[in-house]
Amino acid sequence: MIRRLFFLAIFFVVCCDLYSQIATSSHYSRFGLGELYVQGNPIYNSLSNATSAINNPKTINPGNPASYSSFTSKSFLLSTGGWHQTTKMENNTSEQIVNNNGFSHFIMGFPISEKVGFSAGIIPFSSIGYNINTSLNESINVQSANYSGDGGISKIYFGSAYKLSDELSIGLNASYLFGSLNRRKELVYQDGTFFNSRSNNKISLKGYIYELGVMFKKLLNDNEEYAIGLSAYNNTSVSANKTELLESFRYVGVTELVKDTFVNTSQYGQIFLPRSINVGVSYMKDKKWLLLANYNIQYWSNYKIFDEEGDLENSQTFSSGIEYTPDYNSFTDYYKTINYRLGISYKMYPLKFNDYQLEEKSLSFGFGLPYKKSATKYDIYCVLGTRGTTNKNLIEENFFRIGLAISYYDTWFRKLKYD
């Protein structure tokens, strides 16, 4: 077990290094808090993250903290992973292909008692990564306007669940958000007699959010079970610090020479995060078939940053998934123990341009591969999706994402029969 934990720790360090790089290249990440991540276990990406009603005792589901009460006695769960995404971005005049890598999660869970479960971990919350270069002709002077940004927000959570009865559980996640978002603008003149100008805007935030979860599950008979899950967090304000630097400069050879600093300010304030609601249902039959459906809404129209309106729309996500396991307990045929997964998703982002609200459609699939000689499991997922449109002078993004999650499940204090 120690060797496996050491391997997972090394994998976690590598993934953190990947996340320290730019985890997105989407021009749409320029707005709001950037590109938001689904706040669940990425092994469910192949099920389109329809996680609100999943309560598998051998996996951790941060998407609904009430699920932690399903952990079996003396069990210990650990999971981490990473991903790679290739995106083709195009508009009416040009196209570009970009590649990004990222850290997906590092989470653990275990029961505290027969009715209480606990989980903790770190999950990316959002990221910014864009680089836009434009050339403009203004009279006899040619100028270029450059926009770039990077950074991200991470979430460390601690959660617990309590089983009120065999059918009903409640749970709570307390999460700490931290990170910074950097946005830069630069105006460069080709005429050396003009001074160039640039601005650097950095927002650092830190604060707590709390998410409540409820789950109800019911056995229809010995072979059928359904569950209903609900999770939500209310309106929350987190502390933030905004620094802004505006200056003029010129190039002397390849060296930048700053001429004047017009603005150099630091301001403390609040970022208002609006409430979010997730609701889902699941149906399991014969421990072979798992059917899922999920709906999420977040009221981004109420988003504020330093008491200024965010000019965003409410976001909505509809997702569903199906998992098939021919025989999870087979000892003779390995392929029957594999989880085969498929999912579809439709999402409306909080961004709106020219009366068009940004939307995304995706198809996902993947496999859960148990490793019989240990308690380790490998989950591979792929997502094919399209976001945006080339109409209305916007950008369309077609992406392919592949990810790997490594999960470990074992029982504490188990006495071995053989040494």
pLDDT in tens, the chain (419 residues): 445 444 555 544 454 444 445 678 899 999 999 999 887 788 899 999 999 999 999 999 999 999 999 999 889 999 999 999 999 999 988 899 999 998 899 999 999 999 999 999 999 999 999 998 887 655 556 578 889 999 999 999 999 999 999 999 999 999 999 999 999 998 887 776 778 888 999 999 999 999 999 999 999 888 899 999 999 998 999 999 999 999 988 877 667 778 888 888 999 999 999 999 999 999 999 989 999 999 999 999 999 999 888 889 999 999 999 999 999 888 788 899 999 999 999 999 999 998 899 999 999 999 999 987 777 899 999 999 999 999 888 999 999 999 999 998 887 655 555 44
- Residue 410 is predicted with a pLDDT of 82
- What pLDDT does residue 112 have? 95
What was the pLDDT predicted at 412?
Answer: 66
pLDDT at 20: 44
Digit-coded pLDDT (tens) for 374-403: 778 999 999 999 999 998 889 999 999 999
Per-residue confidence (pLDDT) for residue 42, from 0 to 100: 80
Asked if 142 contacts 136 with a C-beta cutoff of 8 angstroms, the reply is: yes
Token pair in block for residue 359: 């939307």
Which residue bears the tokens 């889902």?
A: 280
> Of 104, 97, 201, 190, which is closest to residue 149 (Cα–Cα)?
201
- Closest by CA to 277, choosing from 293, 299, 292, is 299
Per-domain residue ranges of the chain: 2-133+150-183+200-235+262-411
Instruction: Give the number of other CB atoms < 10 A from CB of residue 323.
Output: 23
Residue 3 CB neighbours (<10 A): 8
Note whether 88 and 47 are within 8 A (CB).
Answer: no
CATH of span 2-133+150-183+200-235+262-411: 2.40.160.60
Predicted pLDDT at 60? 94
The pLDDT score that the predictor gives to residue 240 is 95
Would you state the pLDDT for residue 332?
84
How does pLDDT run across 138-150, given as a tens digit for each residue?
555 657 888 999 9
Q: What is the pLDDT of residue 354?
A: 87
Question: In the chain, what percentage of residues exceed pLDDT 90?
Answer: 67
Give how far Cα 398 sits from Cα of 62, 100, 142, 393, Å. Answer: 28, 14, 33, 16
What local confidence, expressed as pLDDT, does residue 135 receive? 72
C-alpha 112: how far from chain center = 28
